[in-house]
Amino acid sequence: MNLFEILINTLRMRVIPLVTRLSLILNPRFILTRVTELIRTLIRTVLNIRPRDKDDYYPIGGWLVAKRLAYAVVIIVGILCTIYIISQKDALFPGSEESHIKTYDYNSILLKFAKGKVRIKGKSGWVAYEGEVSDAACNGAGTLRNPEGVVVYEGNFKSSMYEDQGTQYYENGILEYVGNFHENQYNGEGRLYRETGSLEYDGEFARNLKDGNGILYNTGGEEIYRGQFSFDKILYSYLLGKSSTEMATIYNGERKLYELGDERVRVMDDIGVMTEEIVNSSSVDSAAKVSAVFVVDSAIRIGSHDYTTFDGIQQALGEPTYVGDSYATLPELLIINKLNESSDLPVISGPGEIIENEVFDEYVEIENYDTDYLVYLHSYEKDGLVYNFVSAPNDTGFAFYYILERNGGDDSN
């Protein structure tokens, strides 16, 4: 072994232990262990030294607190504050870049005092909110995201609720609603979209429901109905008294028109409704007007509630004015025949005879129909309207119903 190798080995023997010791000292776990041990030793030392005279106490109110104990409390509080400051470094020290935004945990105490644009992290660490805050709440413009990072709402907030103008998305990021909000609910003008992305409704809302003037669209995005809504349903009484010309602008979906003398029945399958339109030859205005609206539905919405049984209907509309048999009208018979043709609809009795002469696909002349056919009715009156429900005699529910004005003629008996 030459002199150079001896020198190298000597240096290695001296340097390696130093490097090993240095790497140990700089190891974060070692540092944390040593600091923890020092703090524990310091606290134990402070707490184990008993005060010997009154100068070793702080008088606080009527109590004497050992100075050593006070020092220990200060040290502990200081340590806890240091740990908290380190955990909130993104909020306290966002950086000098103008684009860097203060970031807070959702339960951070500092968030209660924040003002301006911030980021708020959810429980599992994702950025749930980015936007304006003040008075310990989301106030102003902001964006809300779900745990997958998908935007579920962007717009204005007030007291951490959706307010005024905003845009809401489904959980998969597809547009759901754009318009006005109040306390997290659709309220005012807005546009509602289906999960497929097609426009469903454009109009007025109240308490998250279609309510007021609006336009309804089919799944292809084509306008089918323009009129009044109430508690998320078409307000069918709105159609009463409308002329044939007005009906042509109100409904634009699939249609079929049946005509028998001065009577017309307009079938509007896209909204599950038929209207009976009568020409009043004694009136100056001889245009046919809607005298009754027939709804092919075994539930009726009265106010904000849906009713399917006569017990519920009686609670909403009062005692019935008539219960019993009645001769069928043309629209009643058309609906009954339709019920018999479809396996998805409740059948209340067998089909009735209707002699038709189809002129066009959308227009049919009726030559005659079975006027001796009997239907079973439950009739109610409320607020100037007559509600007739057609059912089997012993049923507690109904197959369909229709509405007419009290002075518009009641054919129920």
pLDDT tens for the chain, 413 residues long, are: 566 666 666 666 766 676 676 676 667 776 777 777 776 676 666 555 555 566 666 666 666 566 666 666 777 777 676 666 655 555 555 554 445 788 999 888 888 889 999 999 998 889 999 999 999 999 999 999 999 999 999 999 999 999 999 999 999 999 999 999 999 999 999 999 999 999 999 999 999 999 999 999 999 989 999 999 999 999 999 999 999 899 999 999 999 999 999 899 999 999 999 999 998 765 545 678 999 999 999 999 998 899 999 999 999 999 999 999 999 999 999 999 999 988 676 778 889 999 998 778 889 999 999 999 999 999 999 999 999 999 999 899 999 999 999 875 444 33
Could you give the CA distance from residue 185 to residue 189 in angstroms, rounded to a whole number?
Answer: 12
pTM of the model: 0.73
Contact call for residues 303 and 374 (beta carbons, < 8 A): no
The alpha helices in 27-100, defined as continuous H runs, are 28-48, 67-87, 89-92
116-121 and 102-105 beta bridge pairing: parallel
DSSP string, 171-214: TTS-EEEEEEEETTEEEEEEEEE-TTS-EEEEEEEETTEEEEEE
Q: What are phi and psi of 290, to 5 degrees?
A: -70, 120
Among residues 344, 339, 253, 335, which one has the least CA distance to residue 295?
Answer: 335
Q: How far apart are CA 54 and CA 56, in angstroms?
A: 5
214-218's contacts with Cβ under 8 Å and 24+ in sequence apart are: 216/271, 218/253, 218/270
Contact call for residues 349 and 335 (beta carbons, < 8 A):
no
Distance of CA 287 to the CA centre of its chain: 43
Q: Which two tokens stand for residue 389?
A: 């429900």
- Contact (CB, 8 A) for 262 and 281: yes
Domain positions in the chain: 34-87, 96-229, 246-408
The CATH number of the domain covering residues in 96-229: 2.20.110.10
- Which pairs from 261-268 meet CB under 8 Å and 24+ separation? 262/288, 263/330, 264/288, 265/330, 265/331, 265/334, 267/334, 268/225
Residue 390 CA, chain-centre distance (Å), reads 34
Sign of CA dihedral 24, 25, 26, 28: positive
Tokens in use for 236?
Answer: 């069918």
Closest CA to 265 of 253, 283, 278: 278
The structure tokens listed for 148 are 């997958």
Phi/psi at 306 (5° precision): -100, 135
d(CA 191, CA 200): 8
Which sign does the torsion angle of CA 86, 92, 94, 99 carry?
Answer: positive
State residue 279's pLDDT score. 83
* Cα separation, 186 vs 153, whole angstroms: 13
How far, in Å, CA of 210 to CA of 222, rounded? 18
Helical spans, DSSP H, in 88-195: 89-92
Q: What's the confidence (pLDDT) of residue 361? A: 82
